[in-house]
Amino acid sequence: MSGGIDSSATCIMLQEQGYEVVGVTMRTWDVPSRFSTPGQNEPDDVLEARALAERLGIEHHVADVRKEFKQIIVKHFIDEYMQGRTPNPCVLCNPLFKERILCEWADQTNCAHIATGHYCRLEERKGKLYIVAGDDQTKDQSYFLWKLPQEILQRFLFPLGTYTKQEVREYLRQKGFEAKARGGESMEICFIEGDYRDFLRAQCPDIDAQVGPGWFVNSKGVKIGQHKGFPYYTIGQRKGLEIALGHPAYVLRINAEKNTVMLGDAEELKTEYMLVEDYHITDMQELLDCKDLAVRIRYRSKPIPCHVLVLNEKQLLIRFLSEASAIAPGQSAVFYEGKRVLGGAFIASQRGIRKMAADNQDKL
C-alpha cells in the first residue's frame, strides 16, 4: 500500500470481492518532499496508507526496509551508471525486493495471495502463468515485471488489469474517496526527485573527482570537445550535452574505461541487431517458434517485430524486422506476443555487434 490511487483502489476492490485484506506499506527511501509537515516522523505515503487502512478496517503494517533497499536497489542503480549503463531499477526491484518482501509478509500474516496496483493481468497457458499487458496502454506496467518467477506469479492478483486510470479514479469517487481520486501520479523512479545526476552526486560526493571530465568523440574516435563525466549521459541523449557542433548530436556510445562519450547523428543510432544477456524466458521453445514476436527496448516504446537466436545460456542475439534506435545497455528488452509477455533480458554492451551479426546472419 503506497497510499496512492492505485493501491487504494486495489484494497477496496479486493474487499468487495470478499477477500480479507492485510495492507503492507514499504518504507524504502525517504524523499524530502514526502514529509509535508515540519517534525513529521514518517513520510506521507505511510500516513495515507495507514489512514486508508483504518477507514477500511483492515490490518496494516509498515515494513521499514530502507537499509536493504539502499544496499540492493540504490547500489545497483549507482553501479550501473558508474559502468556507463542506463539502469531500470523497477525491473530489479520487483523480483528481488518488492514482491519478495510482499511474499514474506504474506507468509507471516497467513495470506494466500499478494496483490498490487499494477496495470496488468495474468493468463495461464499449458500450466504456466504469463504477465499480460493491462487494458490501459498509457499505464501498462507489464514491461517492469518480466523477471517475476512462477512461484511469485502463482500468488499474484492484479485487480486493475482491465481498468483505465480514469476508470480507477471514477471508481474511487463512487466509493466516497473523492480526495484520493484527485491524487497525483507517483514518480517513475520512487527514490529520485529531479535529475538523476544530482542524486548520483548526493550519494557519491566524490564522483566528480573520481571520474572527472572526459572527451566527446565522433564515430571515428576523434576528440570534438569535453564533457562532465560519462555517468551523466545516456544512449540516445540529445539535450543537455552542452556542445555546439552546428547540427543535432546524439549520444551513440559510452566508454566508462576511457571516460569517452561518442556523439553522432540520428541515423547512426539505428541498428538491425541487439545483444541481450541474463534472460528469463517462460518457455524458450514457444518464444523461438512465435510468428508474431516483438520486443520493447524501453518503457513506453512500441514493440518492434523481431527474430531471436540463442547464443548460449546467458546471451540472445536479436534481429529487428523494423527500425530500432538508441539501444541502451542496462535497459530491459521485453518480448511480447500481442499483449502477453514471453520473457525478457537486460540489454548488453553492443560492442562487436556487427561481427556477431555477420557471423550469425544465416541463422537469423
What CATH number is attached to the domain comprising 253? 2.30.30.280
Asked if the structure places residue 296 within a domain, the reply is yes
pTM, 2 dp: 0.95
Residue 156's domain spans which residues?
5-182
Residues 253 and 319 both lie in one domain: no
Query: Tens-of-pLDDT digits for all 364 residues of the chain?
Result: 998 999 999 999 999 999 999 999 999 999 999 999 999 999 999 999 999 999 999 999 999 999 999 999 999 999 999 999 999 999 999 998 999 999 999 999 999 999 999 999 999 999 999 999 999 989 999 999 999 999 999 999 999 999 999 999 999 999 999 999 998 877 679 999 999 999 999 999 999 999 999 999 999 999 999 999 999 999 999 999 999 999 999 999 999 999 999 999 999 999 999 999 999 999 999 999 999 999 999 998 999 999 999 999 999 999 999 999 999 999 999 999 999 999 999 999 999 999 999 999 899 8
157 and 32 in a common domain: yes
| 188 lies in some domain | no
Q: Determine, yes or no, domain membership for 101.
A: yes
* Domain assignment present for 61: yes
- What span, in angstroms and rounded, lies between the C-alpha atoms of 174 and 181? 9
Active site residues: 93, 190
Residues 88 and 30 in one domain: yes
304 within some domain: yes
In a domain, 143, yes or no: yes
Judge if 216 and 297 occupy the same domain.
Answer: no
Pinpoint the alpha helices (H) of the chain.
Answer: 5-16, 44-56, 66-69, 75-81, 89-93, 99-108, 150-153, 165-174, 178-181, 196-203, 207-211, 266-269, 284-289, 353-359
Q: Is residue 195 domain-resident?
A: no
Q: How buried is 222 (Cβ within 10 angstroms: 0-12 exposed, 13-18 middle, 19+ buried)?
A: exposed
- Known binding-site residues for ATP equal 26, 117
| Residue type at 162 in one-letter notation | T
Domain assignment present for 191: no
Task: For residue 160, give the C-alpha cell.
Answer: 486493475
